[in-house]
Amino acid sequence: EAFAGKEITSEQYDQLQSLGKTEEEKELAQQDIDEDPSQNVNTRIQKMANANVPRAMVKLKDGASETTLEQLIVAMSRMAIEPSARGLMVQQGCLSVCIKMSK
């Protein structure tokens, strides 16, 4: 907010923010940025598929804005990276939605 109307990029803002941090705070921030192990990602995707999250995404498409529809497709695509979740996603209607939305 303090930089509203000023010509400053997000990178410059991040640099300014890091100047006030200690080395320990910088290390903790870097750990937060580090990638999540793929095994953890796959486990979360499987849990979401088992909890009927794909079905909820299918239901969200009704009456959704264009932006929401795009994000639903992105979410479904990202969930589909886990092979064991794909069958559940098809059963819960994701494939049909993706086919309809691609037309």
| Upper half-sphere CA count for residue 49 (Cβ side, 13 Å) | 26
Is 21 part of any domain? no
Is 82 part of any domain? yes
Integer Cα distance of 29 and 21 in angstroms: 10
At residue 16, does pLDDT exceed 70?
yes
Is 81 part of any domain? yes
- Specify the pLDDT at position 4: 63
Is 48 part of any domain? yes
Number of domains comprising the chain: 1
Least confident segment among 4-8, 39-43, 78-82, 92-96 = 4-8
CB 48 within 8 A of CB 88: no
Q: Which helix (H) or strand (E) holds 14?
A: helix 10-19
Is 73 part of any domain? yes
Is 24 part of any domain? no
Is 32 part of any domain? no
19-73 pLDDT, tens per residue? 777 877 777 777 666 677 889 999 999 999 999 999 999 999 998 899 999 999 9
Could you tell me the residue range of the domain that residue 58 belongs to? 38-102
Is 9 part of any domain? no
- Model confidence, pTM: 0.62
Confidence of residue 3 (pLDDT cuts 50, 70, 90): low
Confidence of residue 5 (pLDDT cuts 50, 70, 90): low
At residue 1, does pLDDT exceed 60?
no
